[in-house]
Amino acid sequence: MKIGFIGTGIMGKPMAQNLQKAGHTLYFSEHYKPAPADLLGDNGIALPTPAAVADAAEVIITIVPDTPQVEEVLFGDNGIGKGLSEGKVVVDMSSISPIATKAFAKRVNELGAQYLDAPVSGGEVGAINGTLSIMVGGEQATFDRIKPLFDAMGKNITLVGGNGDGQTCKVANQIIVALNIEAVSEALVFASKAGADPARVREALMGGFASSKILEVHGERMVKGTFNPGFRIKLHQKDLNLALTGARELGVALPNTASAQELFNTCAALGGSEWDHSGMVKALEHLANHNIRGE
């Protein structure tokens, strides 16, 4: 397929590379953020604006930081909407507001195109390896058409429901991930403060019921102190804000989500907005006046 791809950051770049490896030609917009040189060539073409990308492509994928950026790329002066026509598909793989997503889908549909919200989970490693979980909202027929593209980028691909439901699922995912990071952080700080070696505690826990992907991957980051993103704390703050805002609108209590957000806020206050979200442990270390790495 001819695919427009807007957003070539930590997640987007390897996702784009996997689509190219699958044989697709990608069009990139220099207006939003120029694509890295190693994505350009015979199957990577730079065009000046998102509108030009949409005009050239059959499917347009976006993966940008937040709701305002998605709206700008879609409906700005030189946005994707200017290049849409009957039969084209917009696939937003960003993590943004479910409510805004429904409004965006309606506007895209009115332009004659189809819309899927398809946020991802799995981090940079999943993006590189093509093993992302992809949570999709939209129509079954559109999902079936785009499924081969999802297969090039991920392994666990689920049509959750209609437009907005993919984003709702991603918010739920981010709640679970944040609370797991908090649990692992608290456990390792507790163990270290009690005098145990946190690396050996983590190794022991990996063989029991407490084992998890967060303990495996982020627990190792915590023990080694490797907090280069990954997935930035400021982006997880954005996702938890979507959860807490939605909870207020729905009349739902999310007390532990709120506590995880406060710990991320503490990290930000310590200058850690750009840390990997496993850096939440540093907030708990700060509160305990104890560093598990003996730094």
Q: Do residues 90 and 114 make contact, with C-beta atoms less than 8 angstroms apart?
A: yes
Distance of CA 87 to the CA centre of its chain: 27
In angstroms, the CA 80 to CA 190 distance is: 50
Q: Is the peptide bond before 230 cis (omega within 30 degrees of 0)?
A: yes
Q: Which residues are catalytic?
A: 170
Angle, vertex CA 163, rays to CA 46 and CA 213, nearest 5? 80
5's enclosing H/E stretch is: strand 2-6
**Could you tell me the end-to-end alpha-carbon distance of the chain, in angstroms, rounded to an integer?**
51
The residue with tokens 């309606």 is 106
CA quadruple 107, 109, 111, 113: dihedral sign: positive
Could you tell me which of 33, 13, 3 has the C-alpha nearest to residue 128?
A: 13
159's enclosing H/E stretch is: strand 154-161
